Amino acid sequence: MIRKLRESGALLNPPIVAPLQDGTERYMVLDGANRTTAIAEMGIPHIIAQIVEPSSDAVELRTWNHVLWGWETENFLSAVNGISGIKLHEIEEDEGLRKLWNRLALVWLQTPDGNTYLASGDDDLDLVQRLDLLNQIVDAYRFTAKLDRTRIRKVTALEDVYKGLCALIVFPHFHIDEVIDLTSQGHLLPTGLTRFSVSPRALRINFPLDELSCDKSLEQKNAELQAWINQQIASKSVRMYTEATVLFDE
């Protein structure tokens, strides 16, 4: 990400952030954590962000599924089953998903042979304890297997795409207020799990990094940013798509 930013010399898509509901002036990054981290590691003191209110109807929280490949399924199942506090057992597909949606399990798994499993913890776990076990599950494979995010919930639909398919993992849904509250307490959800969608979404601003890294005050930078936005609008360089849009040049 740092190399890409340096080569382009510009911030393409601003991250999306939401204010934490803890009485501070801190923000939670909803989308664009890698960009935010890269900008900080480059020593750039400020970043442009799109601020949204988590209670807004324009904000929607979705959960990604994880598809794993390049690792033996047996080794993956053993790794999950070996986590303290987790019980892994086979279950019928529909019953397993029903229990997952009702938060009676941590994750639902499907392997290339068509078998489905539930990973569960104790019945009296609170949200923070459940989150800790979820992080341990993801940590068990994210540095060993190849990982991608998907909305698909059928392993058979992935076999022709991912060679050496290991497993499909489906996670429970989270509410936005839960995520904000957990973040306020310093707890983070597993990587690649949540996906926030915002409408409208500011994209392709291509704002020069030199303007963000200079020693001007934050107030001056914000004033110049607003002037730049006004100029872009006046020159008809801003376009809003009201329909679902698919881009092929990311």
CA 238 to chain centroid: 27
Say whether pLDDT at 214 is over 90: yes
Percentage of the chain with pLDDT > 70? 99
Judged against a pLDDT cut of 70, whether residue 104 lies above it is answered with yes
pLDDT score for 158: 95
Q: What is the pLDDT of residue 223?
A: 96
- Burial label for 214, CB within 10 Å (0-12, 13-18, 19+), is middle
Residue 190 lies in a domain: no
How many domains in the chain? 2
| Position 61, amino acid | L
Indicate whether 141 and 165 sit together in one domain.
yes
Residue 112 lies in a domain: yes
Burial 151-168 (b: 16+ CB within 10 A, else e): eeeebeebeeebeebbbb
69 shares a domain with 6: no
Same domain, 113 and 144: yes
For residue 25, what pLDDT is reported? 82
CATH classification at residue 46: 3.90.1530.10
User: Does residue 126 lie within any of the structural domains?
Assistant: yes
The answer on pLDDT for 155 being more than 90 is: yes
- Residue 215 pLDDT class (50, 70, 90 cuts): very high
pTM for the predicted model, two decimal places: 0.77
246, part of any domain? no
Do 110 and 141 fall into the same domain?
Answer: yes
Asked if residue 221 and residue 125 are part of one domain, the reply reads no
Q: Same domain for 52 and 83?
A: no
* 148 and 212 both lie in a single domain: no
Residue numbers of the domain that contains 38: 2-58+197-234
22 and 83 together in one domain: no
Domain boundary among 133, 155, 170: 170
In a domain, 240, yes or no: no
- The size of the chain, in residues, is 250
- Average pLDDT, stretch 58-67? 90
- DSSP class of residue 22 equals S
CA dist list (Å): 223 to 36, 216, 226, 240: 21, 11, 5, 23
Same domain assignment for residues 85 and 109:
yes
Angle (CA) 161 164 166, round 5°:
100
Q: Residue 85 pLDDT more than 90?
A: yes
CA–CA separation, 149 and 155 (whole Å): 13
Among 151, 170, 189, identify where a domain stops.
Answer: 170
Cβ–Cβ contacts within 10 Å for residue 238, how many? 12
* pLDDT given at position 185: 85
165 strand-pairing partners: 69
By the 10 Å C-beta count (0-12 exposed, 13-18 middle, 19+ buried), 12 is classed as: middle
Please tell me the number of Cα atoms within 13 Å of 66 on its side-chain side. 25
Residue 169 contacts residue 142 (beta carbons within 8 Å): no
| Residue 178 in domain | no
Residues 26 and 77 in one domain: no
Residue 250's pLDDT band (cuts 50, 70, 90): low
My answer on whether 87 and 133 are in the same domain is yes
Structural domain contains residue 180: no
Cβ(35)–Cβ(195) below 8 Å: no
The residue from 129, 151, 170 where one domain ends is 170
Q: Are residues 48 and 70 in the same domain?
A: no
User: Is the per-residue pLDDT at 61 higher than 80?
Assistant: yes
Any domain includes 182: no
